[in-house]
Amino acid sequence: MAIAQATPRGYLERPRPSGLADVIDVILDKGLVIDAYIRVSLIGIEILTIDARIVIASVDTYLRFAEAVGRLDLREDESQGLPELMESVTSGGSKSKTQGALEGVKETLFGGDEEEEEEEEKEKAPSRSRSRSRSRSSSSGSSSSGSSSKRSSSSRSRSRKGSS
């Protein structure tokens, strides 16, 4: 399953140039931080101090591991392979609802009426993210929960303009 097997042998002999996927984390989370005291946040960006993204050992994680292990046995018993698992993910109506990013990708890439489906997707996204950014704000102690919903909705229209 290693990527190295799917590509020419020389693939690791030089570092690959950094695609967005590789650098998006460091761009958003790292780099010199200029104290808010001297920084005028005219852009209205809330720079949260993102602490180390350690994989959180929590109940959720434990459940996930347990299920994954359980599924291993399932595969052995019933020869249910990857294709069946993927089928159940892609075809199930209720299951596809919260796939979030993946659905968005699918829609953008293969949707017939791109505009409409983007619209749909963005309709779904902000309500989730609004609550998410609200809870983020409160946990970090910042006081702009009022503005966060404004931010999400304005980014919605903005990104429609900006993404072509």
Partner 1 sequence: MGLITGLLTLPLAPVRGTVWLAERIQEQAEAEMYDEDAIRQSLLELEAARETGVMDEREIAAAEDELIERLMMIRGVGEGEIDGRE
Partner 2 sequence: MSEGSVYVYGVLKAQAAKSVSSSGVASAPVRDVQHDGLAALVSTVEGGALAAAREVRAHWKVLEETSASATVLPVRFGTVLESEDAVRSTLLEPNAERLSSLLDELDGRVQLTVKGGYDEELLLRAVMREAPAIAAMNDDLRRLPQDAGYYGRIRLGEAVAAEVDRRREQDTGLALDRLAPLAAGSRSEALSAADAAFNLAFLVERDRIDGFSKAVAELAREFGERVTIRYVGPLPPYSFAEMELTGPGAKWD
Q: Could you say which residues in the range 121-160 bind partner 1, by CB under 8 A?
A: 121, 125-126, 128-129, 131-133, 136-137, 140, 147-148, 150-152, 154-155, 158-159
- Gap between the Cα atoms of 64 and 58, Å rounded: 10
Please count the other Cβ atoms lying within 10 Å of the Cβ belonging to residue 152.
20
In contact, 102 and 89? CB cutoff 8 Å: no
Which range binds partner 2 by CB under 8 A, 4-12, 90-98, 115-123, 140-148?
4-12
Cα separation, 48 vs 145, in Å, equals 13
What residue 113 binds from partner 2, partner 1, none (CB within 5 to 8 A, per partner kind)? none
Pair 89, 96: CB distance under 8 Å: yes
For position 97 contacting partner 1 by CB under 8 A, the verdict is yes
Map residue 156 onto helix, strand or coil. helix
In the complex with partner 2, which residue's Cβ is closer, 67 or 114? 67
Is 42 a binding residue for partner 1 by CB under 8 A? The answer is yes
The span from the CA of 116 to the CA of 97, in Å, is 17
Q: Least Å distance between CB 75 and partner 2?
A: 8
Is residue 33 near partner 1 by the rule CB under 8 A?
no
User: Which of partner 1, partner 2, none sits in contact with 95, Cβ below 5 to 8 A by type?
Assistant: partner 1
107 near 118, Cβ under 8 Å?
yes
Residue of 23, 85, 86, 105 that binds partner 2 (CB under 8 A): 23
Nearest to 121 by CA among 98, 88, 90, 147: 98
Alpha-carbon 68 to chain mean position: 21
Residue 68 near partner 2 by CB under 8 A:
yes
Residues near partner 2, by CB under 8 A: 1-5, 12-18, 20, 22-35, 37-43, 45, 47, 52-55, 57, 59, 61-70, 72-73, 154-155, 158-159, 161-163
